[in-house]
Chain A
Amino acid sequence: MKRHALSTRLWHWINALAFVVLFMSGLNISNAHRALYWGDYGYDMSEAWLIVARFPSWMTIPQRYDLAEARDWHNLSAWAFALGLLVMWATSLLNRHFARDIATSLEDWRPDAWKAAIKEHTRPGDHGDRSYNAVQKITYGLVLGIGLPMMIATGLAISPGFEVAAPWLVDAFGGRQSARSLHFICAWGLAGFVALHLFMVLWSGPVKQIGRMITGGRREGDTNA
């Protein structure tokens, strides 16, 4: 049995590309108005809860301040990101990837399990072909179940054309400017995850890890059974 199903691998790379483009074009969009507010309105920087830094051109798509082109990239990649996540979730539920590899048991929520997982990963190098540990399951679960869907939901909430279809969504986030703030916070939360994720790949044998995410690798035994 493959360690990573074809659908998982396809989604992983499409999503990675879409996320990079969304994040970097999002930083360009952020430069258009660098203040974040709570509630339904906000235009006066003195009322902002946070004024963010201006992101330098090497961090943005495109590499100059261009709100229109950044929005083109953002709005195009959003389709790949959103539809990809939808298909991935449907597939994971159908092929039991979620139930088998990511869903946690009560055991996984005990600090002992976390300590064991962290201890095991303090040494660099390959950690074998076993199933995900408690920390991985919880982290992937939070990213797949909350982080990525939040990007889509908050993104849709700040679209005035979509708002008329689901005004309750904007209310659920506490208003349009709150949704915009949450969009920004979740984006940086996911960027933090990506940084940690990349670090762990480098830490635990990048060639083998990346290879497995391309070819699928091999699953040794079925320790989750």
Chain B
Amino acid sequence: MPDLKRRSLLAGLAAMPAAACTELAETKPAGDLFDAAEDWHRTAHRRLAARQALAPEYAPDERSPDVKGNGTVSIETPEYQEQLAKGFADWRLAVRGLVDNPLSLSLADLKALPQRTQITRHDCVEGWSAIGEWKGPLLSDLLDRARVSEKANFIVFRCADVLYNRDYYESVDMVDAYHPQTIIAHELNGEPLPEKNGAPLRVRIERQLGYKHAKYLTAIEAVASFDDLYGGKGGFWEDIGDYQWYAGI
């Protein structure tokens, strides 16, 4: 059948760059080049926009009907389910690591801090987007209260969920940690954060893709490097799938 032949010829031709790229990607120079490109993007973004430039915010009627849950959407452990049933009355968020004044905060403590409400768009790395209204204290406020040491270069988010038998965690640099839209959200669209969206607490890092927005937060840690942290790449997806640590592109 000529059709089949043409198809396999096409497949053969297409497979040449595909195969070459697949092989090439495993080499050190290619990996270094990918990392360099990631740095160029981050640098270009930071040069083009102000350090504190805000992500777009929307009007209440521009919200999407829902904010899709992705990755972990439910935590089956009895401890979590018990907390969920009790409205997270005993949930604590630790702020620790390279800080002079470690904190352990209840949900009530977090709600007693000055709050920010923002209607922003969540862009998943897969390609979909959803718009929701998030409310919570600024991360910078928590970091200031914990008095972060000057030795800290990154903020790590520790989570209660486990995916593929690994603890979920994420991290950002100080620029995004102190960004005025980086909040520890406890509400979505005027309601306590639903389980699929990370109840009771998730971080919003509005200038980066969704996998940075860690859910089910248990601790915020100031660190100097990622060397002692799981795979050493600064995040769950970065470790298991070699995802880009800078998720602004």
Contact = CB atoms under 8 A, between A and B. Distances in A.
Interface stretch (B18-26, B73-81, B102-110, B160-168): B18-26
Contacts of B124: 33, 43
B45 A73 contact: no
B126 A67 contact: yes
A32 interface: yes
A163 interface: yes
A175 to B, nearest CB: 9
A27 B241 CA distance: 18
A20 interface: yes
A68 to B, nearest CB: 4
B124 to A, nearest CB: 7
28 contacts: A21-B21, A24-B21, A29-B127, A30-B127, A40-B121, A40-B129, A42-B128, A59-B11, A61-B22, A62-B18, A62-B25, A63-B15, A63-B22, A68-B237, A68-B241, A68-B243, A71-B244, A72-B244, A75-B244, A75-B249, A76-B33, A76-B37, A159-B45, A160-B206, A160-B247, A161-B45, A163-B55, A167-B56
B54 A43 contact: no
B207 interface: yes
A41 B64 contact: yes
B17 A72 contact: no
A109 interface: no
B192 interface: no
B130 A43 contact: yes
A61 B126 contact: no
Contact of A72 (B14, B37, B49, B58): B37
B18 A43 contact: no
What are the 8 A-B residue pairs with the smallest beta carbon separation, nearest first? A161-B248, A165-B48, A165-B49, A33-B127, A43-B128, A161-B45, A32-B126, A72-B34
A170 interface: yes
A182 interface: no
Interface residues on A, range: 35 or more
Contact of A160 (B44, B48, B123, B237): B123
Given A63-B22, A72-B25, A160-B206, A32 B127 contact: yes
Interface in A8-34: 20-21, 24-25, 29-30, 32-33
Nearest to B58: A40
A137 interface: no
Contacts, number: 148
Q: Identify the interface centre among A20, A30, A73: most chain B CB within 10 Å of its CB.
A: A73
B140 interface: no
A108 interface: no
Nearest to A58: B11
Contacts of B49: 161-162, 164-165
A159 to B, nearest CB: 4
Contacts of B224: none
Interface of B: 11, 14-15, 17-19, 21-22, 25, 33-34, 37-38, 40-42, 44-45, 48-49, 53-56, 58, 62, 64, 66, 68, 121, 123-131, 206-209, 237, 241-244, 246-249
Interface in A28-77: 29-30, 32-33, 35, 37, 40-44, 57-64, 66-69, 71-73, 75-76
Contacts of B22: 61-64
B41 A164 contact: no
Contacts of A71: 125, 243-244
A67 B18 CA distance: 14
Contact of A69 (B33, B66, B242): B242
Given A63-B18, A160-B248, A161-B207, 6 more contacts: A63-B19, A73-B25, A76-B37, A160-B208, A161-B208, A162-B248
Contacts of B127: 29-30, 32-33, 180
B37 A161 contact: no
Contact of A59 (B14, B38, B123, B130): B14
B128 A35 contact: yes
A67 B54 CA distance: 27
Nearest to A61: B21
Contact of B53 (A62, A164, A170): A164
A40 B126 contact: no
Contacts of B243: 67-68, 71
A21 B244 contact: no
A199 interface: no
